[in-house]
């Protein structure tokens, strides 16, 4: 399988993540891509290519124009305001406040566009996110032109990013951008299967009222896991989108036996939908040793996951999402892909 990768994704080098009340080095770090690409080469997964450039038009098809502009200018505005740490929101349009006003002040604006506080902004974040979506679209293009699978080694990840919100380490929703491009290219139905440990709240929200994208997510139950406020089983879509959103929230300590049962249910639902393309939001933070998650998947079990995905028999684009057990992230990610390749 072909991999798309770029060193430009490492332009995001945030120094801080707000975690447990202290600022720590971010779990979502540039070393993640080095370790994954090393493993891709080590096992000979296939050719590694640089992405093409697609500009902002495909981003504008998903995200709000002022949100994109905010991401491009936020760091400079923060510095110009004389603020010294990394941009972290400290006030939101929470309940009982107005959510229809966008402050001019950078401190207020960050709260408007952030859905969580762990994701510090930094110089280079916009460029990295822009490259991340180029990687996703390059992988998609390869799948569309050849029918062969491809792996987009996206970083930063995308599935928490909503129309006009960043957070959970995500800025542009790579999977949503790719799905929309496939539809614009003439496809009628695209399925997005999100197997990252966390619920793909951004992707769900973007397609919630649509029937041309089936979104399915296996994740830690939101009562107990980030992003807490979305991802429950009763969220099934609305209007035309009713029944085209499927959540599989799973409890603490879920092992591969239970997780793969949910996966099989998701696969059955995908087959019934008869999509022309499958996009896999591939997070490996389901791993037993992931530092911020609570499932119990073992390294070898990711191979079986890849095999099951292959059985669906669809043109498939894998896009990297999370996974923070950095030492094993290469093994686990590439295990899914080699399992798929058979
Ligand atoms: N105590 C992705 O995997 N913070 N994002 C979790 C846990 C945010 C994860 C805190 C996790 C975001 C793409
Ligand atoms: Zn995750």
| Spans of all domains in the chain | 2-59+122-341
For the CA atoms of 41, 45, 50, 56, the dihedral, rounded to the nearest 10 degrees, stands at -130
Query: Which regions of the chain does DSSP assign to beta strands (E)?
Result: 2-4, 17-19, 22-24, 48-49, 150-152, 190-194, 213-220, 245-250, 277-282, 316-320
Nearest of 330, 282, 331 to residue 149 by alpha carbon: 282
pTM of the model: 0.99
Q: Which residues are catalytic?
A: 160
Q: What are phi and psi of 138, to 5 degrees?
A: -70, -40
Report which of 253, 184, 247, 235 is spatially closest to residue 212, judged by C-alpha positions. Answer: 184
Strand arrangement of the beta sheet that strand 245-250 belongs to: 48-49, 2-4, 150-152, 316-320, 277-282, 190-194, 213-220, 245-250
- Beta-strand relationship, 150-152 and 2-4: parallel
Whether ipTM > 0.90 holds is: yes
**Closest ligand relative to 21 C-alpha:** 1
User: What is the residue with the minimal CA distance to atom 2 of ligand 1?
Assistant: 322
Pocket test for ligand 1, best of 119, 198, 282 (most atoms within 8 A of CB): 198
The pLDDT profile of the chain, 342 residues, written as one tens digit per residue, is: 999 999 999 999 999 999 999 999 999 999 999 999 999 999 999 999 999 999 999 999 999 999 999 999 999 999 999 999 999 999 999 999 999 999 999 999 999 999 999 999 999 999 999 999 999 999 999 999 999 999 999 999 999 999 999 999 999 999 999 999 999 999 999 999 999 999 999 999 999 999 999 999 999 999 999 999 999 999 999 999 999 999 999 999 999 999 999 999 999 999 999 999 999 999 999 999 999 999 999 999 999 999 999 999 999 999 999 999 999 999 999 999 999 999
Ligand 2 centroid from CA 224, angstroms: 14
Q: Is 166 in the pocket of ligand 1 (CB under 6 A)?
A: no
Q: Whose CA is nearest to atom 1 of ligand 1?
A: 292
> In the CATH hierarchy, which fold is given to the domain comprising 2-59+122-341?
3.40.800
CA distances from 334 to 202, 277, 301, 320 (A): 25, 21, 12, 11
Residue 170 CA, closest ligand 1 atom number = 13
């Amino acid at each position: 399988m072909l991999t798309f990768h770029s060193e430009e994704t490492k332009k995001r080098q945030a120094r801080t993540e707000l975690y447990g009340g202290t600022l720590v080095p971010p779990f979502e770090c540039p070393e993640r891509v080095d370790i994954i690409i090393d493993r891709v080469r080590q096992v000979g997964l296939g050719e590694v290519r640089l992405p093409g450039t697609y500009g902002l038009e495909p981003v504008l098809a998903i995200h709000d124009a002022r949100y994109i502009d905010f991401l491009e200018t936020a760091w400079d505005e923060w510095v110009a305001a004389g603020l010294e740490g990394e941009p972290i929101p400290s006030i939101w349009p929470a309940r009982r406040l107005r959510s229809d006003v966008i402050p001019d002040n950078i401190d207020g604006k960050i709260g408007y566009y952030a859905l969580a506080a762990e994701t510090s902004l930094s110089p280079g974040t916009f460029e990295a996110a822009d490259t991340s979506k180029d990687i996703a679209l390059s992988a998609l293009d390869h799948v569309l032109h050849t029918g062969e699978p491809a792996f987009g080694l996206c970083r930063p990840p995308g599935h928490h990013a909503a129309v006009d919100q960043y957070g959970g380490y995500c800025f542009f929703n790579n999977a949503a951008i790719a799905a929309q491009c496939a539809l614009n290219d003439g496809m009628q139905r695209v399925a997005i299967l999100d197997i990252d440990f966390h619920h793909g709240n951004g992707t769900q929200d973007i397609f919630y009222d649509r029937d041309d994208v089936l979104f399915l997510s296996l994740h830690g139950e939101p009562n107990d896991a980030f992003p807490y406020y979305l991802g429950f089983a009763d969220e099934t879509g609305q209007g035309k989108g009713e029944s085209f959103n499927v959540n599989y929230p799973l409890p603490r300590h879920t092992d591969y036996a239970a997780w793969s049962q949910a996966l099989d249910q998701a696969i059955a639902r995908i087959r019934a939908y008869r999509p022309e393309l499958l996009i896999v939001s591939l997070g490996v933070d389901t791993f037993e040793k992931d530092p911020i998650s609570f499932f119990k998947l073992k390294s070898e079990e990711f191979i079986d996951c890849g095999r099951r995905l292959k059985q669906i028999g669809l043109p498939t684009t894998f896009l990297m999402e999370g996974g923070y057990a950095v030492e094993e992230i290469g093994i686990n990610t590439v295990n899914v892909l080699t399992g798929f390749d058979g």
